[in-house]
């Protein structure tokens, strides 16, 4: 296997990726709390780590990818009360909406999409372990993690425990031994969903859910855990503490986090009115343009979302589709027969762009440089097929383009366009007029088609059309 380097948040440096099991990758990504439509900030980790998964698969690894749903939470309960529905109804509704947007963004379904409510037994078992080992305690029906008992607490976020304690709020619950202790299990309140437990009716805390689900579906120690930068503290820090204390083993080998997304150079906030759902952005620019935009910079860097950046992404994407469409046309209308020697040589030269693409991806998933390699290859392809290529050569070029764009999850959005019978008839009439050298009639038909939103292009291989 080729060396892939990843930036590990825990060590603060790029490290060579060495899987626990040779040839296999176990990945866990924190999914959404399902109480609303996902916003454009949510889309970044979804897309970025979908690409990482695709790349490992492309390199020959067997990838097991788990992404959870938090389907019981204060926000869900609040939304349920607002809409006069049950928490379960709200969760099911927004899980369905999530998949609509995820599918639109080209994000592959996880191997497992576990829900917190489907893993209550596993959560209770893990809490029991922590209590039995002295890492947790019961207080008034709640269960808290004894943070002071885990000596490495704060290693991921680089916040020493003594500093966290010093900075903790004074007005802390008297139920807690320390202000930095966090809830593993919450006693039930009237009107809230609850499950029976050894400590009384209640529901799980947020952090323990991911630990229990990761443990169930991937094992005690996993290769990669990823998510947004905002999850480093306290969520991922708490996951490490409770998982390692419960299992007595290292939880995650590589922690990956994407940078923040700002809106017009301002932090995304409902109060500022710059909070955009993926659904709204997709209606304006298309889902695939959002995906392209998210890949246009290093995943660890801050990224600024704006109308201009989305428009630029849509335009760049269109250039890729134009090349793809041209190659598909040439595959059907180019010269028959085997590839020419010059074409074979040209095809061999395209390998350099694939090499540049893979070198970029091997270097901490540098999608910006990977995209640059794709566009350089596209320019070379456009030049190579300009002079009456063979069908075989056009097909081979399309295969190379599709290989790299497939790793990035691009060129999936446009469906093959079709012509209605009247347009098809006009194109045939124009071809007949050109053959008869009746160029004025051919021009008239071209103009009529243009008014109907159909643009024609005459090529040595025949007439091409596209919708304006």
How wide is the angle at C-alpha 238 spanned by C-alphas 167 and 188, nearest 5°?
95
Helices within 84-205 (DSSP H only): 87-104, 120-132, 161-167
Identify the CATH class of 5-136+149-158+206-258: alpha beta
Distances in Å between the Cα of 157 and the Cα atoms of 36, 232, 236, 260, 424 are 28, 6, 9, 16, 62
Question: For residue 371, what are the CA distances in angstroms to 118, 143, 359?
Answer: 40, 48, 12
Domain ranges in the chain?
A: 5-136+149-158+206-258, 319-408, 421-467
Q: Residue 210: pLDDT band by 50, 70, 90 thresholds?
A: very high
| CA distances to 119, 223, 254, 268 from 123, in Å | 6, 21, 23, 33
Contact assessment for residue 147 and residue 182, using Cβ atoms and an 8 Å cutoff: yes
**Residue 270's pLDDT is what?**
59
| 297 CB-near residues (< 8 Å, 6+ apart) | 303, 367, 368
Task: Tell me the CA distances in angstroms from 59 to 23, 373, 462, one per residue in order.
Answer: 9, 18, 39
Higher pLDDT among residues 451 and 382, named by residue: 382
Determine the Cα angle at 209 with ends 193 and 218, to 5°.
140
Report pLDDT for 168. 57
Percent of the chain scored above 90 by pLDDT? 79
CA distances from 192 to 33, 71, 140, 355 (A): 16, 13, 17, 55
Asked if residue 169 has pLDDT above 50, the reply is no
pLDDT at 427 over 50: yes
Tokens representing residue 46 in the block:
């979804």
Instruction: Assign domain 319-408 one CATH number from 1.20.120.640, 2.30.30.90, 1.10.443.10, 3.30.470.10.
Output: 1.20.120.640
Band of pLDDT at residue 167, cut at 50, 70 and 90: low
What average pLDDT does range 221-226 have in this prediction? 98
Does 262 score more than 80 pLDDT?
A: yes
For residue range 372-383, list pLDDT tens digits in order: 999 999 999 999
């Amino acid at each position: 296997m080729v060396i892939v380097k990843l930036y590990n948040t825990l060590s603060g440096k790029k490290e060579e990726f060495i899987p626990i099991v040779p040839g296999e990758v176990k990945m866990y990504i924190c999914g959404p709390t399902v109480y609303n439509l996902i916003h454009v900030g949510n889309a970044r980790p979804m897309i970025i780590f979908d690409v990482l998964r695709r790349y490992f698969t492309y390199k020959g690894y067997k990838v097991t990818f788990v992404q959870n749903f938090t389907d019981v939470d204060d926000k869900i309960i609040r939304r349920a009360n607002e809409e006069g529905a049950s928490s379960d109804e709200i969760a099911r509704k927004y899980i369905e909406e999530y998949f609509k947007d995820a599918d639109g963004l080209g994000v592959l379904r996880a191997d497992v999409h576990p829900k917190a409510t489907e893993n209550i037994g596993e959560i209770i078992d893990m809490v029991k372990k922590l209590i039995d080992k002295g890492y947790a305690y019961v207080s008034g029906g709640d269960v808290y993690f004894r943070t002071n008992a885990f000596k490495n607490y704060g290693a991921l976020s680089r916040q020493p425990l003594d500093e966290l304690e010093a900075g903790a709020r004074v007005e802390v619950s008297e139920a807690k031994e320390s202000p930095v202790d966090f809830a593993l299990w919450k006693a039930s309140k009237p009107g809230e969903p609850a499950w029976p437990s050894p400590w009384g009716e209640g529901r799980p805390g947020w952090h323990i859910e991911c630990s229990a689900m990761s443990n169930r579906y991937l094992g005690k120690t996993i290769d990669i855990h990823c998510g947004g930068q905002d999850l480093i503290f306290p969520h991922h820090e708490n996951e490490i503490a409770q998982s390692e204390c419960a299992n007595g083993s290292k939880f995650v080998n590589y922690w990956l986090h994407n940078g923040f997304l700002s809106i017009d150079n301002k932090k995304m906030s409902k109060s500022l009115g710059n909070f955009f759902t993926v659904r709204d952005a997709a209606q304006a620019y298309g889902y695939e343009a959002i995906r392209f935009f998210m890949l246009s910079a290093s995943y660890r860097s801050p990224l600024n979302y704006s109308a201009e950046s989305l428009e630029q992404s849509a335009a760049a994407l269109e250039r890729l589709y134009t090349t793809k469409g041209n190659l598909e046309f040439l595959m059907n209308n180019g010269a028959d027969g085997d590839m020419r020697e010059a074409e074979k040589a040209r095809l061999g030269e395209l390998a350099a762009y694939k090499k540049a693409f893979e070198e970029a991806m091997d270097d901490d998933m540098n999608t910006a440089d990977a995209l640059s390699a794709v566009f350089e290859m596209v320019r070379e392809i456009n030049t190579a097929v300009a002079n009456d290529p063979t069908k075989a050569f056009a097909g081979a070029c399309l295969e190379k383009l599709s290989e790299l764009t497939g790793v990035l999850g691009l060129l999936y959005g446009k469906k093959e366009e079709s012509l209605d019978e009247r347009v098809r008839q006009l194109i045939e009439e124009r071809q007949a007029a050109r053959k008869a050298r009746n160029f004025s009639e051919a021009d008239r038909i071209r103009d009529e088609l243009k008014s109907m939103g159909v643009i024609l292009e005459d090529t040595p291989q025949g007439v091409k059309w596209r919708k304006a």
